[in-house]
Amino acid sequence: MSNTANLDVVPQAQGFAAAVRGLDLRAPLAAGIERALLDAWTRYPVLYFPEQVLTPALLEQVSGYFGPFGHDPYVQPKAGFEHVIEVRRDAHETAPIFGGSWHSDWSFQATPPSATLLYGEVVPPRGGDTVFADACRAFEALSPTMQQLLLPLNAVHSAAPAYGPKGLFSRDDASRSMQIIVSPEADKTELHPLVRRHPLSGRCALYINHVYTIGIEGMRGNESQALLDFLFKHLVRHEFIYRHHWQPRTLLLWDNRCVIHYADGGYEGHSRLMFRTTVAGERPQAARAV
């Protein structure tokens, strides 16, 4: 079993997502195919691979094509798999949906993950979409004056709103099936450029998100909140959105450096189980000029 055929990359209407067909990800990728896949991912920061049959071990193998594993805090990994998280929601759960607000994975880290891979093991018959916003197109749609205002700014990121002692998950009820760790460590903050340049494509992206971005360096609270509120609303305009409707046995890959996402609900009374890995990234670099 091997992968030597050409990739079939099918762009979606929104322009930043694509379907990838013609690969069996259980088999090793030939060197040329691996390079072509990385090139496709640079052009389309959201890729999905339908009709794949992956175990947690195979998901770890596929993750390795994109780099070393990232560090996943605050969530207990799957037993026997240090780098795999079960994103699980059982049919009876009433706790808030994990990942249910707009975010970029672990943006509060000094070196946030470049990629997240999510495999659909149990997909509900309705609902449960993963929704993405293109942060490059959102930045490019701003006026030149607004772009120049944002370029020198740093945003403050923190895990506190989700995983801190007063965060969302501190208020969980007993129905939660995932093992989430609430910790005072989450109250720490990290500064990242509000606009970052992608290390591969060279494009500029708004690097903020609704969950983990809590302020702007050097601004008073009301000033930064007003600017962030405008940018948050702008980021998720309908023309920047791709909504992924899950089918069983699909692998989804996205680039945390230039898209934000959230997990939608709408599948009450049904279970949903995904296997998830992250790929290590680099410290975000500021975009000093457009």
pLDDT score recorded for residue 207: 98
Domain containing 38 equals: 8-279
Can you tell me the distance from the alpha carbon of 53 to that of 246, in angstroms, rounded to the nearest whole number? 15
What is the rounded CA–CA span in Å between residue 287 and residue 162?
A: 28
Task: Let me know if residue 236 belongs to a domain.
Answer: yes
Q: Give residue 13's pLDDT.
A: 87
What pLDDT does residue 134 have?
98
> Averaged over 148-164, what is the pLDDT?
98
Does position 26 have pLDDT exceeding 60, yes or no? yes
Does residue 131 form part of some domain?
A: yes
Taking only the tens place, the pLDDT of each residue in 34-74 is: 999 999 999 999 999 999 999 999 999 999 999 999 999 99
Q: Is the pTM here over 0.85, yes or no? A: yes
pLDDT of residue 288: 80
Residues 11 and 44: beta-carbon distance below 8 Å: yes
The count of domains in the chain is: 1
- C-alpha triplet 242, 263, 151: angle, nearest 5°: 60
pLDDT (tens digit, 9 = 90+) per residue, 79-90?
A: 999 999 999 999
If phi > 0 it is left, if psi is from -120 to 50 it is alpha, else beta; for residue 269 that is left
Domain CATH number, residue 169: 3.60.130.10
| 2 confidence band (pLDDT: 50, 70, 90) | low
pLDDT of residue 31: 87
**Mean pLDDT estimate for the chain:** 96
The residue type found at 197 is R
Q: Which amino acid is located at 46 in the chain?
A: V
Could you tell me the CA-to-CA distances from 3 to 38, 57, 252 in Å, in that order?
Answer: 15, 19, 19
Is residue 284 situated within a structural domain? Answer: no
The pLDDT assigned to 131 comes to: 98
Alpha-carbon span 191 to 249, nearest angstrom: 37
Task: Kindly report the three-state secondary structure assignment for every residue of the chain.
Answer: CCECCCCEEEECCCCCEEEEECCCCCCCECHHHHHHHHHHHHHCCEEEECCCCCCHHHHHHHHCCCCCECCCCCECCCCCCCCCEEEEECCCCCCCCCCCCCECCCCCCCCCCCEEEEEEEECCCCCCCEEEEEHHHHHHCCCHHHHHHHCCCEEEEECHHHHCCCCHHHHCCCCCCCCECCCHHHHCEEEEECEEECCCCCCEEECCCCCCEEEECCCCHHHHHHHHHHHHHHHCCHHHEEEECCCCCCEEEEECCCEEEEECCCCCCCCEEEEEEEECCCCCCECCCC
**53-64 pLDDT per residue, tens:** 999 999 999 999
Query: Given the DSSP bridges, would you call strands 17-21 and 46-49 parallel, antiparallel or unpaired?
Result: parallel
Q: Is residue 2 part of a domain?
A: no
Phi, psi of 50 (to 5 degrees): -75, 160
Query: Would residue 3 count as lying in a domain?
Result: no
> How does pLDDT run across 260-276, given as a tens digit for each residue?
999 999 999 999 999 99
65 within a domain of the structure (yes/no):
yes
Is residue 256 in some structural domain?
Answer: yes
Report d(CA 225, CA 214) in Å as an integer. 8
* pLDDT above 70: percentage of residues in the chain: 98
- With 80 as the cut, is the pLDDT of residue 175 above it? yes
Report if residue 290 sits inside a domain: no
Per-residue confidence (pLDDT) for residue 3, from 0 to 100: 64
CA distances from 280 to 56, 68, 116, 231 (A): 18, 6, 9, 27
